[in-house]
A and B are shown apart, each in its own frame.
Chain A
Amino acid sequence: MDRKEEFVGIVNREMNSVFNLAYRLCGNYHQAKDITQETFLRAYQSFDRFEGRSKIFTYLYRITCNVWKNTLRKKKIQNFTSYTAGLNTRKIEDIPAAENMFPDERTQNDAKNRIVQKCLDSLPAGDRAIIVLRDMEGRSYEEIAGILNCRTGTVKSRLARARQKLAEKILPFREDLNQ
């Protein structure tokens, strides 16, 4: 099996995870698709250098986070807290659905998902990445440290901070979410 065939297997196996991470990070279906494609393209370009010392998902997630950060820089969307203005007074129905959704997404995009995603979007980029990796993707502290290229202690501190911020943002919607 040559390298390309091996890579095709990785795409089929990891594509959903990468896309889901990309979507949770950027909050946009189309953008998530672009990030996923870019991630696999970059992974393929440097695939010969991947020696298997880290797990393949760590390798892919690290690229995903880097592609996403580059996207933020390019679009100069550094401040994701703009939505927090008046967020506490909003109702679920006030929260707009994501733009340019595919029909498939609309069916998946139930009320809870929309609330969670919008609250995530209101977090700073760094906090969002760490909380998505830990609480949505279920990665260990060590794996997150490897993906984000930081120390485990930093992951623990930042995760606590991110959770606190997210909890405060979700609090007004707690009743809706418990339904």
Chain B
Amino acid sequence: MKLHGNMRLFSLYIDGELDKKLKDSVALHIETCDECRKTVEMLKGTRDLLSRTGRIQAPADLARDIMDNIPETKPSALPVKKFYLPVFGTIALLIAAFLVMHNRTQEIQIARAPVHERPPETAKGAAIPELQQEKRPVDEVKRKNEEETVSQPGAYHKPFALKEKGTSLEKPVDRLSDTSRAREGTKVIAREEGTGKALAGAASAPSSSLKTEGQYCIIGEGGKKVCSSASSVSDEVSGTETAKITEARPLPNAMVIRDKKEWSSIWNTQNTLQNLTLPLPDVDFKEKMVVAVPSRQADNEYTVVNTIEEKDKIVVQYKELPLQKLAPPPYQLNVVNKKPSVEFQKID
């Protein structure tokens, strides 16, 4: 250790706080080094001067003044000064907001249904008369019979059934918690194809930029939008958009979301409209896309029955029913594997 000019060491030395070895080293050094010896003497002289300085006597009336200032009430266990009130208030509000969010998240009751295998003949659409004229070879069929629901206060509760002609694949999502039933609220939320993984959140009205009355739009990568009405597809932006919708039956306002920006936009808008603060589910848009199916149009409501993954497209099968009294959530969001096109099929 360096001794020469080491002020910290000298300060400890004059206080007698060094161990014997170090103390001897410093003593030896200051014997041979005039500069350091003077420094040590100066420090010691200053310390001694301070310690000799007399204490100031407190004013005679100070004790009385102190006691006069002390309130008669008992000492506060937690004194809250005016200065701290805004701070405590802010903290309390933050904690309250956190608890509300936390409770709301906990209210999301996810019910998972068992995976049902779809009979091959129905997978090809043979049992669906409306689709027979547009039958296409199905290279790969993945049935996602796993419906996931969340309860939302005041939301619409409707058993979500998967039903096909001649089959008994009814799968009512009727295993919601009592809490969710008591609230009369269940809504289909975003779901991920294949894994059946629920993406917690709520669906609501689409953002105005996405909504085109009488049309359904594909939000392409880079935010480009392709909207289609009836059976025609029009490219509003340019011809670079490759995604296409080929529909068996038109489904107005259905959307395919292919990038995070639009996903975030619609999710936030829906949250806002429904006064919710659910976090944005993470979707890997390199591999996935989101199909948003409107839950109601005019006097009808729509229920996604099935999503089928084919080689170059996703087939979304839905049912159209008369509108119930309680309004369903604006959109049913389905996370599916990314494909160039999406086909909407109405089934009975």
Contact = CB atoms under 8 A, between A and B. Distances in A.
B240 interface: no
B69 A41 contact: yes
B65 A37 contact: yes
B55 A20 contact: yes
B195 interface: no
Interface in B29-68: 42-43, 45-47, 49-51, 53-60, 62-63, 65-67
B76 interface: yes
B53 A37 contact: no
Contacts of A159: 11
Interface stretch (A1-9, A78-86, A89-97): A1-9
Contacts of B1: none
B200 to A, nearest CB: 43
B55 to A, nearest CB: 5
A12 interface: yes
A131 interface: yes
B75 interface: yes
Task: Say whether chain A's binding surface is mostly helix, strand, loop, or mixed.
Answer: helix
B12 interface: yes
B4 to A, nearest CB: 15
B325 interface: no
Contacts of A135: 46-47, 50-51
A102 to B, nearest CB: 7
A16 B55 contact: yes
A177 to B, nearest CB: 6
Given A7-B70, A11-B63, A177-B49, A46 B75 contact: yes
B75 A45 contact: yes
B321 interface: no
A163 B10 CA distance: 10
Contacts of A167: 42-43, 45-46
A68 interface: no
Interface string A157-179: 10111011011001100100100
B50 A19 contact: no
B56 A136 contact: no
A61 interface: no
A113 interface: yes
A163 B63 contact: no
Contacts of A110: 54
A55 interface: no
Interface residues of A, number: 52
Contacts of B42: 167, 171
B89 to A, nearest CB: 20
Contacts of A136: 50-51, 53
B96 interface: no
A98 B46 CA distance: 22
B170 interface: no
A131 B40 CA distance: 16
A105 B47 contact: no
A48 interface: yes
A110 B66 CA distance: 28
A23 B56 contact: yes
B237 interface: no
Contacts of A105: 56
A167 B39 CA distance: 9
A166 B46 contact: yes
A29 B59 CA distance: 9
Contacts of B7: 160-161, 163-164
B77 interface: yes
Nearest to B58: A19
B8 A156 contact: yes
A108 B45 contact: no
Interface string A110-144: 10110010000000000000010001101001000
A64 interface: no
10 contacts: A3-B75, A37-B66, A44-B75, A48-B75, A49-B77, A105-B56, A156-B12, A160-B12, A163-B11, A167-B42
Interface of B: 7-8, 10-12, 17, 42-43, 45-47, 49-51, 53-60, 62-63, 65-67, 69-71, 74-79
